[in-house]
Structure 1
Amino acid sequence: MDQISFGTGGWRTTLDNFTDDRIQMVGQAVATYLRETQGQTDRSVAIGYDARKRSNAAAKSLADVLSANGFDVLLTARDVPTPTVAYAVADRNLAGALIVTASHNPPEYNGVKFVPEDTASPLPSVTETIESYLEPPTSLPEAKHGSIERFDPVPAHLSRAINLTNLYFEADLSGLTIVYDAMHGSGRGITDSLLESAGAEVIRRRCERDPTFGDVAPEPNRDTLQGLATAVEANNADLGIANDGDGDRITVCTPQRGVLSGHLLFAGLYEALLSNSEMSGPAVRTVSTTFLIDRIADAYETTVYEVPVGFKWVARGRDEHNALLAGEESGGFTIKNHIGEKDGVFVALLAAAATALEPFDDRLDRLFETYGRIYADKINIDCPEEKKTSVLVALEESIPETIVGQPIVETITLDGFKLLLADGSWILIRPSGTEPKLRVYAETTNAERLTSLLTAGRELIESVIDRDPKR
C-alpha cells in the first residue's frame, strides 16, 4: 500500500513497482469507492489502456477485479487515447473508468488513472478516499459477477470531435497537408484518421506501436519533435501535430516557427474561437500559462480565471465559470460542453480547422503585433518526493526582493510561488505532481531575459534544496 499514491494524473510508478497485486488493489479500491461512496452497482465501468508494456494485461486484471465485485465491464479492444475512454463515460452514462497509462512519462513507468462519472480528473478528496480503500481484492459469489465485454469507443469519440469542431469552425481541411506524429502512442490510427476524414492529406510519423516509444519519453516538446519539425518543412506541410503517449496532450509545429509552446497554441486557439464564432466566453488557464491569454480576453471584453496546475482544477474552473476554452501550457485543453479530461484528439482537429481559416503562423504574427510578443519556457530540477515540502517551506523564507534586477510586485501562492516582476515578467516555482522534480517556469517580453529568469529560479531552489530544514 505504501507504494500506491494517487497524484495529479492518478497512480504512476516505475515498472518494478507496477506489480499485479498492486494493480488489483487499485481495482478493488475503485470498486469499493464506487459501491460505498457513490452507491454505484448497476452502471458499467469502462477500462482502457495505453501502448506501454503490460498495459493490456493490467487492464484485464483490473477488469477481473471489477467484475468480481459485481460490475459489468467494458474493456477496450486495443490501446486507445485517454480522452476516448473518458468520452465513453459521458456517452454511455457509465459509473466511471479506469485507464492503464503513465501518459507522457518515460517508458519505464506505468500507472492507473481513474475517471469519475463527470469525466473530470478527480479532486484530492476523491483520490484520498480511494487510497483509504486499498486492500487485496475480494470477490462476490460467481453468480453475482459482472460481465466483461470488449468494446470500441473510438467511433463515438471521433464523431463528437467533428460535431464539436463544427460548432465553432467548419471542419473542412481540404487542401491542408498535416504531418501527424503519434510518438508510437495510442493516438496512432485515431487522430490521423480523424484529420484525414475531415479532408486533410496526412503524412504519418511514428505511427507504429512501440512500448518503449523509441526509448524516449512520449512527451511532445522541442527536444522530442525535431523530426516532426523537419518533416513539416520537407513536405511543405501546413501544420505538424503530435500527441503524447496516451493522446490527451497535443503539440503543434508550424512551417515558420517549428515546435510551438503550449502558450502559443492556447493563445492562437482562443483568439480563433473568439474571432470566428458567435459564441464567446472566458478562458481558464493554469498559473503556469501565459498572460497573453489575458490580453486577448481583455480585447474581447471577457475574463481569464487562473487555477493551480492539474487538469482537475482546469476542468472545475471551466465548469464554474462557463469558460469557452480551458487549458495549460503543457498542451492539455478542453472546451465548453465537452469532457472534463484534456483531449488531444479533438484539439488536433480544432487546431487544424483554425489553420484552415488562417495559417497559424499568420495568426501568431497578428497576435504579436496586436498584443506584444512573449517568450516563455520551463526547466526541471531533481528533488526527491520526501524533500519537496521542506524545500518549499525553506523557499518561502528565501524569496528575495528583486529578481534579475526587477522588484517583485506580487507573490501568488495559488500553486507554489509565482513572482510577478515590475516589468511584467514572472517566474513560477512549484513541485511536479507526477515526478520527483521541482519546476521553474518563466515568461517575459524580452527574449534576452528569459534565460536569466530561469537561471534565477534555479539558483533560488539550489540555494535551499540541500539545506537541513531543521536548522
Structure 2
Amino acid sequence: MSSPIKEIPTKPFEGQKPGTSGLRKRVKVFQQEHYTENFIQAIFDSIDAKGQTLVIGGDGRYFSPEAVQIIFKIGSANGVKKFIVGKDSILSTPAASNVIRKYKAYGGILLTASHNPGGPNNDFGIKYNVSNGGPAPEGVTDKIFEKTKTISSYKVLEAPPVDLSKIGETKYGPSEVSIIDSVADYLILLQEIFDFPLIKEFLEAHKADYPILFDGLNGVTGPYARAIIVDTLGLPESSIQNCVPLPDFGGGHPDPNLTYAHTLVDVVEAKNIPFGAASDGDGDRNMIYGKGAFVTPSDSVAIIAHWADVIPYFKKGGVKGLARSMPTSKAIDLVAQKKGLEYFEVPTGWKFFGNLMDAGRLSICGEESFGTGSDHIREKDGLWAVVAWLNIIAAANKKSPNKLVGINDILKEFYSIYGRSFFSRYDYEEVPSDGANALVANLNKAISTNSLNNTVHTSSNGTSFTISGLYNFEYKDPIDNSVSKNQGQVITFSDGSRVVFRLSGTGSQGATVRLYVERYVPATASPEELAKPAAEGLQSLIDVALELSKLKEYLGVDKPTVIT
C-alpha cells in the first residue's frame, strides 16, 4: 500500500532569508508550527530534485532528528528518488561535501549552525549545498527566499519515521533512504591526501616527548577524530577529548578559538602538550595550538601553502593557485608571490573559493575565521587542516633528525622567510542592529566624501598612522562575472597596515560587528620584533581603529565578545 501525500495549507513567515551559511535562527523559531516545513518546501520549490539523490547531514545539534524526518516527508512528496544520510543524522559539513561529490548527488541539506551554541534555547540552521558539494550560490538562495515570501502550502508524505540508528537501505514511500557510516568515506579521502605512514612513524617515535591532543568540543568531529587519531594513527585515548557529539555541545560554545576552546588551551598548558587542535560544531573550522604556541588562521593557511610539497595530494597534482577571504591577512599572498602562483582575494563565503576550484585555478585557501581548506571538497575542512599540520610537522622533523621541530619552530622559520603579518579580530556579538548600521553608515559616508584621506591618527603610546585610502570591498568573480558589493569597509594606512570592518550575518539575532587589524613587519626585522605577541604588535593600530570609527560609541560596548 502506497503512502498518501498530503498538501498542508500554510502562510509565509518573515525573515526566512538564507545567508552564505544558510538560515540560522533560535531553535524555538524553527519549532514553530509550519516554520521549518515552509523553508524546506521553499528549497524544493527552488530546485529540480525530482528523481534525484539528495544528501542529508548535520552536526547532531538539538532539533536535528526532527528536522531530518521533516526533510524525508517533504522531499519524498516532492519526488526525491533517494536520500543518503549519516547514521544518527551525523555528517560533518566537510564529510557531507565529500559524500555529495563521491556519490554524484544532486545536492544536500545540512542541519547546522556551525560554530554557534546548540540546545533548546540556542541555535539551529538549515543550509542547502549544490552538486559540487559547496554552499548554494546567491542565485539559488535568493530564489529560496522569494519562495518563502509567497508560500501557501507544502506537501508531505504520510509515513512512519525512519530509524536512523541502523546502517543500510530502507524504503520510504516512493523513495529510498540509504543510512551510511558517517566517517568511512571521509577517512578514505584523507588517507588519499596525506602521508599517514610518515605521520604515524613520527608520532610513534616521539610518544614520550611529542604527545598530541585533539578537542572535539562535543561537536560532530568526535567520531572522525577517533577514527583518525586513535584507530588509524594508533595514539592513546588520552590524545582526544570531548569527542562525543552532544545536542547542546555539552553546554559549551563549539567555536575553536582562544576564548571558547579553553578546554583545549587549559589542558595543553597544564600538561605541556606540544601539539593541540580543536574543531567546531559542524567540523569545518579548526584551531592549532601547542604549549605557548598559537597559530593564527591567517598564518596557518599560508604555512600549509608554503609546505604543500610535503603533502602527497599537492606533490602529485601541484598547486594551481592560492586564495584568502578579504579580511584574512596577506601572509598567503606573500607565499603565492614567492612561488609564482596565481592568488585571489574574495569576499567572505566559501562559495567564492568553490567557483575558482571548479575552474581549476585554486588549490589552497582560507578565511581568518578559523576556516582552512583545499580543492579536495568544496567546504572548509577542520580536520583536513589538523592532519595537514601533523603531516608538515612529521616532514619537518624528518628533515631535521637531530632537533625536535615544533609549532614555534615552524612559525619562526616562516617569518624569517616572508616576514610577519600581525593580525587580530575583534568580535562584537549581538549588539543593537541600529548602532551597527549607524557605524557602517558613518564609514560609508567617510568613503564617499574622502573626508579621512591623508589624515593622521596617533595612538596613546605616540605611534602615528596616516590614512592612505578607504573603500568598500567589491569583488567581480573571474569565473562567472558576478559582482558582490558592500563586502566590508577597508581603511589602509601609509605603512601598509589596514583595518577592516564587517557587519556579519552568521548570528541568529541582533548584529555582529567584526573589526580586523593587520600590520606587516618585514623579514629583515629583528627576531625579537617578529616574535612579539600579536596583542603587543597591534595595540597602537587597534587604539586608532577604535577611535576613528567611534565603534564603542555606536555599539554601546566597552569590550569585544571575542578576540582572536
TM-score higher than 0.5: yes
Residues 456 and 18 (structure 1), Cα distance of their counterparts in 2 relative to 1, 3 Å cut: farther
- TM (norm. structure 2) is 0.75
Q: Which shifted more, 319-328 or 270-279? A: 270-279
CA contact (8 A) 1:430 1:439 kept: yes
What's the counterpart of residue 155 of structure 1? Answer: 184
The yes-or-no answer on 1:29 pairing with 2:56 is no
Q: Is the 8 A contact 1:195 1:349 kept in 2?
A: no
> 1:320 Cα deviation (Å)?
4.3
Deviates most, 270-279 or 63-72:
270-279
Amino acid at match of 1:178: I
Distance 1:384 1:170, change over 3 A: farther
Post-superposition offset of 1:321? 6.1
- CA deviations over 1:147-206 (Å, ceiling 9, x no partner): 33422242111101110224xx86533342320100000101212322334425251111
Deviation at 1:123, TM superposition (A): 1.8
Partner of 2:371: 332
Matches of 1:416 and 1:294, distance apart in 2? 19
**What RMSD in Å do the two structures reach over aligned CA positions?**
2.6
Partner of 1:18: 30
Q: 5+ residue gaps in structure 1?
A: none
**424, 445, 457: which is aligned to 1:377?**
424
Matched, 1:346 2:384: yes
1:37-436 matches, cutoff 5 A: 40-71=49-80, 72-78=82-88, 79-107=90-118, 108-134=122-148, 135=151, 136-139=153-156, 145-166=174-195, 172-176=199-203, 177-199=211-233, 201=235, 203-257=239-293, 259-274=294-309, 278=315, 279-320=318-359, 322-336=361-375, 338-358=376-396, 359-381=406-428, 382-385=430-433, 389=437, 391-398=439-446, 400-401=452-453, 402=455, 403-404=457-458, 405-414=464-473, 415-435=487-507, 436=511
**Residues 386, 101 of structure 1: CA spacing in aligned structure 2 closer, same or farther, 3 A cutoff?**
farther
Query: Unaligned stretches of 5+ in structure 2?
Result: 1-12, 160-171, 204-210, 397-405, 459-463, 474-486, 522-533, 557-564
Computing the radius of gyration from Cα coordinates, the structure with the larger value is: 2
**How many angstroms apart in 1 are the aligned matches of 2:342 and 2:471?**
18
What's the CA shift for 1:385?
Answer: 4.5
1:216-242: CA deviations, max 9, x gaps?
A: 321010112233134334555442111
Q: What are the superposed Cα offsets for residues 284-325 of structure 1, whole Å, 9 maximum, x if unpaired?
A: 101111111112222212232100111122322344461220
* Compared CA separation, residues 366 and 449, structure 1 to 2 (3 A): closer
The one-letter amino acid paired with 1:431 is L
Which range moved further: 142-151 or 94-103? 142-151
The superposition leaves residues 316-338 of structure 1 with CA deviations (integer Å, 9 ceiling, x where unpaired) of 234446122011111212213x2
Equivalent-residue separation in structure 1 for 2:185 and 2:339 (angstroms): 34
Is contact 1:440-1:454 (8 Å) kept?
no
Q: What SS does the aligned partner of 1:196 have?
A: helix
Shift in CA distance, 362/297, structure 1 to aligned 2, threshold 3 Å: same
Q: In the TM superposition, what whole-angstrom CA distance separates every residue of 1:428-461 from its partner, at most 9, and x where no partner exists?
A: 0111121211110001147545133334333415
More displaced, 379-388 or 415-424?
A: 379-388
- Separation in 2 of the partners of 1:245 and 1:421? 37
Distance (whole Å) between structure 2 residues aligned to residue 153 and residue 275 of structure 1:
28
CA contact (8 A) 1:59 1:99 kept: no
C-alpha distance 193-238 of structure 1, shift in aligned 2 (>3 A): farther
Which shifted more, 22-31 or 376-385?
A: 376-385
The residue identity in structure 1 corresponding to 2:472 is T
The one-letter code matched in structure 2 to 1:406 is F
Give the whole-Å Cα distance in 2 for the aligned partners of 1:288 and 1:199: 35
Normalised by the length of structure 1, the TM-score is: 0.89
